[in-house]
């Protein structure tokens, strides 16, 4: 192997500096490994080096130099920790002739060493290897962890590490979730569950299994439930991970084609919501559909408000148990008659189960006491801690799928809207009532998103983002601007940990007592989902942020809007024109762009663009005035685009 030669062997202590993940306040001072199994066999192909990464391992005398990386997995079924240590490149190797110098300690006691049976070198050639795998028993709990190994670097074995401090690590196995009760079917569409007991109308002796898997699809844990009816079986409160579903047909007369379907479940948050993960079992057949979901009890005469699916806002696979939403009552009415009523006490996603098929359903939210049925659409206001919110009616949303929102609270942390998603066909009737049909399984989706644990102090009257030819236009309107220096626009791309500032300089406050409107253009480089916040900077330098808004841009839309493969200057439209015309152009790379208008004598009358522009398609409007705001005369004019080495001129006619 390149660069290998004998040298004095000095123990190279590699201690961990860890990339922080997001954890709940309960585990704010420790780090958590990924969950899953591995195989200690000298072949690390089963590891996923991105999510399994736990810590960098540094050279002690040159701290910024990362010599190796540590990866961890914890198996909750067998209470076993798996470790993988790899050098940062294949030319930087570990020495195998002194295996006792490669180890992991838990609370300063040896957990595994290079001489143990549960230790294997990776790609060993002679006295050198590129890394090692190991495993050791470890009960669920909180510990201190550190590691140590010999690393050959800079033509000799180096001493790495300047500290023996433990890194706090916690193993807190996430709950796999549960398979909830089924949503019954109404095949004859009479508004009630099909005749007979579930065992008489459905499938007997079928076992549905939900299996958790690693990234390669290997089963590492499973749970199951016995089914005895056709309907929709629902998986509730799944933490992020890899899953698939299978069916065990124990009745010889039943079909045997129960192949599973795998999916990767991402973390569920109020910004990243998923539809129910369900398995449909119809009589005489097996059909599997993976959708994230909810669980609840069944009452075919009344309907039930099912259990909630909790939001994992801090991405730690743990339910935010301290985020209570006290004394909120949700009711479902049919034709003015109460059909379901529940008192909610948690932020999350609630579900109305087994609503009899039919029409004229309305959902009502109240902070206490009896409610009156009416349909609400959108109330976009936060309710401060300790104050009572009021329900207000604000229009009717037309269409077969409607999004209805309301807000109410009592002594709750800051939060904002509920989303009522009425799914059904046909659209709402003339009385604005909802029809729930058998084709769209009979449930209503009710959202109680947790937004912030602290007050949202930036009071914006509006905050919007939309696509335009030159980028994402983000606008916000303030309510008042007392003692405000200015604003920053923050953006986070989906999957990124932190927000970054969009504007180069502070957007100065207009100082308007009644508020003002601001706009910034974010020239993004690729498709994706983006989150934006407005950060208000006070005259005292203190910064306060708004709640985020979300905008998603598909690859197809991005290419159609922003994709430019060549320079182009298009004919203006309309032409001839009065009073204004539109000029479109495209640039395939970031360039300083000048778009100018000249008369027949060659004199410049107007400059429309004189700035650096990112790659994309653009459009500018000329109002027929010169640079002094004076209207030009009727006649022929030329417009010229200059961008880098590209220059093109076209002509147009002004008519009065």
Residues 65 and 163 in one domain: yes
d(CA 589, CA 585): 13
Domain boundary among 553, 588, 604: 553
- Is residue 526 one of the residues assigned to a domain? yes
- Confidence check: pLDDT of 73 > 50: yes
Q: Is there a contact between 27 and 318 (Cβ–Cβ < 8 Å)? A: yes
The domain total for the chain is 5
In tens, the pLDDT along 482-512 reads 778 889 999 988 767 788 999 988 998 887 7
| Residue tagged 């006649």 (tokens) | 635
- Is residue 3 one of the residues assigned to a domain? no
Residue 192: which domain range?
177-295
Report the chain's mean pLDDT, rounded to a whole number: 65
d(CA 183, CA 273): 20
513: left (phi over 0), alpha (psi -120 to 50) or beta: alpha
In tens, the pLDDT along 243-258 reads 776 665 544 444 333 4
Residues 307 and 290 in one domain: no
133: domain CATH number is 2.60.40
pLDDT the model gives residue 394: 33
543: domain CATH number is 2.60.40.10
Residues 140 and 212 in one domain: no
Which one has a higher pLDDT value, 200 or 416? 200
pLDDT the model gives residue 399: 25
Q: Is there a contact between 133 and 83 (Cβ–Cβ < 8 Å)? A: yes
- Confidence check: pLDDT of 379 > 70: no
Residue 279 has, within 13 A of its CA and on its CB side, a CA count of 31
- Is residue 2 one of the residues assigned to a domain? no
- Is residue 426 one of the residues assigned to a domain? no
- Confidence check: pLDDT of 633 > 70: yes
Strand partners, 544: 536
Strand partners, 70: 55, 85
Q: What is the pLDDT confidence band of residue 152, given thresholds at 50, 70 and 90?
A: confident
Residues 525 and 571 in one domain: no
If you write DSSP's letter for every residue of 517-537 in order, what string do you get? EEEEEE--SS-EEEEEEEEEE
Q: What is the pLDDT confidence band of residue 269, given thresholds at 50, 70 and 90?
A: low
Domain boundary among 295, 328, 362: 295
pLDDT the model gives residue 428: 32
- Confidence check: pLDDT of 275 > 70: no
Beta-strand pair 131-137/80-87:
antiparallel
Residues 40 and 160 in one domain: yes
CA distance between the termini of the chain: 81
DSSP 82: E
**In the numeric block, which tokens belong to residue 608?**
């429309």
pLDDT the model gives residue 401: 28
- Confidence check: pLDDT of 35 > 60: yes
pTM, whole model, 2 decimals?
0.34
Least confident stretch, 151-155, 201-205, 297-301, 594-598: 297-301
d(CA 493, CA 551): 10
**In the numeric block, which tokens belong to residue 455?**
């007050």
Domain boundary among 553, 571, 586: 553
Residues 209 and 321 in one domain: no
- Is residue 154 one of the residues assigned to a domain? yes
Which one has a higher pLDDT value, 546 or 153? 546
pLDDT the model gives residue 550: 80
d(CA 3, CA 245): 50
Residues 190 and 98 in one domain: no
pLDDT the model gives residue 647: 93
Percent of the chain, pLDDT > 90?
15
Which one has a higher pLDDT value, 516 or 305? 516
d(CA 572, CA 518): 30
pLDDT the model gives residue 133: 96
- Is residue 444 one of the residues assigned to a domain? no
Which one has a higher pLDDT value, 603 or 36? 603
pLDDT the model gives residue 628: 92
d(CA 193, CA 298): 10
- How many other CB atoms are found less than 10 A from the CB of residue 559? 12
In tens, the pLDDT along 439-493 reads 333 334 444 443 333 333 456 778 888 887 677 899 998 877 777 888 999 998 8
pLDDT the model gives residue 27: 29
Query: Does the bond joining 579 to the residue before it have cis omega, within 30 degrees of 0?
Result: yes
Beta-strand pair 219-227/206-213:
antiparallel
Which one has a higher pLDDT value, 498 or 349? 498
d(CA 352, CA 294): 10
In tens, the pLDDT along 508-529 reads 888 776 778 999 988 787 778 8
Burial of 233 by CB count in 10 Å (0-12 exposed, 13-18 middle, 19+ buried)? buried
DSSP 469: T
Residues 575 and 520 in one domain: no
- Is residue 58 one of the residues assigned to a domain? yes
If you write DSSP's letter for every residue of 202-226 in order, what string do you get? S--SEEEEEEEE-TT--EEEEEEEE
Residues 151 and 211 in one domain: no
Residues 543 and 485 in one domain: yes
Whole-angstrom Cα Rg for the chain:
31
- CA-based nearest residue to 608, from 637, 578, 565: 637
Element (H or E) spanning 198, and its range? helix 198-201
Residues 114 and 73 in one domain: yes
- Confidence check: pLDDT of 643 > 60: yes
pLDDT the model gives residue 248: 59
Q: Average pLDDT, stretch 43-56?
A: 81
Q: What is the pLDDT confidence band of residue 304, given thresholds at 50, 70 and 90?
A: very low
> Dihedral of CA 5/164/26/35: which sign?
positive
Which one has a higher pLDDT value, 301 or 339? 339
Residues 126 and 204 in one domain: no
Q: Which residues contact 574 (CB under 8 A, 6 or more apart)?
A: 581
- Is residue 20 one of the residues assigned to a domain? no
């Amino acid at each position: 192997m390149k660069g290998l030669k004998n040298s004095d062997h000095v123990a190279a202590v590699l201690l961990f500096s860890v990339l922080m993940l997001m954890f709940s306040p309960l585990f704010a001072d420790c780090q958590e490994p990924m969950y899953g199994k591995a195989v200690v066999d000298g072949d690390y192909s089963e590891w996923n080096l991105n999510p399994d990464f736990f810590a960098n391992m540094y050279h002690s005398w040159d701290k910024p130099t990362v010599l190796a990386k540590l990866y961890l997995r914890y198996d909750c079924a067998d209470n076993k920790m798996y470790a993988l240590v790899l050098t940062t490149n294949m030319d930087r190797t570990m020495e195998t002739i002194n295996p006792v110098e490669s180890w992991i300690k838990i609370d300063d006691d040896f957990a595994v060493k290079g001489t143990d049976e549960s230790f294997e070198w990776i790609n060993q050639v002679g006295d050198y290897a590129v890394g090692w795998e190991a495993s050791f028993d470890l009960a669920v709990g909180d510990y201190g962890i550190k590691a140590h190994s010999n690393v050959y670097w800079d033509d000799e074995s180096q001493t790495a590490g300047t500290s023996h401090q433990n890194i706090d690590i916690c193993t807190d196995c996430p709950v796999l979730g549960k398979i909830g009760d089924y949503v019954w079917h109404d095949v004859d569409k009479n508004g009630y569950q099909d005749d007979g007991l579930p065992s008489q109308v459905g499938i007997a002796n079928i076992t549905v299994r939900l299996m958790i898997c690693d990234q390669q699809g290997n089963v590492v844990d499973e749970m199951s439930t016995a089914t005895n009816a056709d309907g929709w079986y629902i998986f509730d409160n799944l933490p992020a991970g890899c899953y698939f579903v299978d069916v065990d047909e124990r009745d010889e007369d039943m079909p045997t084609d129960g192949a599973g379907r795998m999916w990767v479940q991402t973390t569920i948050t109020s910004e990243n919501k998923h539809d129910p993960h369900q398995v449909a079992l119809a009589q005489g057949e097996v059909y599997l559909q993976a959708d994230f979901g909810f669980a609840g009890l069944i009452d075919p005469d009344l309907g039930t408000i099912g259990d909630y699916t909790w939001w994992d806002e801090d991405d730690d696979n743990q339910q935010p148990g301290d985020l209570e939403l006290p004394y909120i009552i949700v009711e479902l009415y049919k034709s003015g008659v109460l059909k379901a009523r529940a008192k909610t006490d948690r932020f999350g996603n609630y579900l109305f189960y087994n609503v009899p098929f039919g029409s004229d359903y309305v959902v009502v939210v109240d902070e206490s006491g009896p409610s009156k049925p009416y349909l609400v659409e959108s109330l976009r206001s936060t309710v401060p801690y300790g104050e009572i919110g009021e329900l207000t009616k604000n229009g009717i949303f037309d269409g077969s799928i409607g999004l209805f929102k309301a807000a109410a609270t009592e002594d709750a942390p800051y939060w904002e809207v509920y989303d009522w998603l009425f799914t059904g066909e046909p659209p709402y009737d003339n009385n604005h009532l909802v029809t729930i049909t058998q084709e769209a399984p009979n449930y209503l989706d009710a959202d109680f998103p947790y937004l912030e644990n602290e007050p949202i102090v930036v009071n914006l009257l509006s905050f919007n983002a939309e696509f335009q030819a030159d980028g994402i236009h983000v606008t916000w309107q303030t309510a008042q601007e007392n003692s405000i220096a200015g604003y920053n626009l923050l953006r986070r791309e989906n999957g990124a940990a932190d927000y970054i500032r969009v504007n180069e300089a502070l957007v100065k406050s207009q100082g308007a007592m009644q508020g003002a409107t601001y706009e910034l253009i974010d020239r993004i480089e690729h498709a994706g989902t983006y989150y934006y916040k407005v950060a208000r900077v006070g005259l005292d330098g203190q910064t306060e942020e708004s709640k985020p808004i979300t905008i998603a841009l598909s690859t197809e839309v991005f290419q159609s809007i922003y994709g430019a493969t060549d320079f182009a200057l298009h004919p203006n439209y309309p032409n001839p024109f009065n009073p204004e015309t539109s000029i479109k152009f495209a640039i395939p790379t970031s360039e300083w762009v000048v778009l100018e208008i000249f008369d027949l004598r060659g004199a410049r009358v107007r400059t429309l663009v004189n700035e650096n522009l990112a790659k994309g398609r653009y459009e500018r409007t000329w109002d027929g005035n010169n640079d002094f705001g004076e209207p030009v005369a009727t006649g022929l004019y030329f417009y010229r685009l200059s961008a880098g080495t590209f220059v093109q001129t076209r002509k147009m006619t002004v008519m009065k």
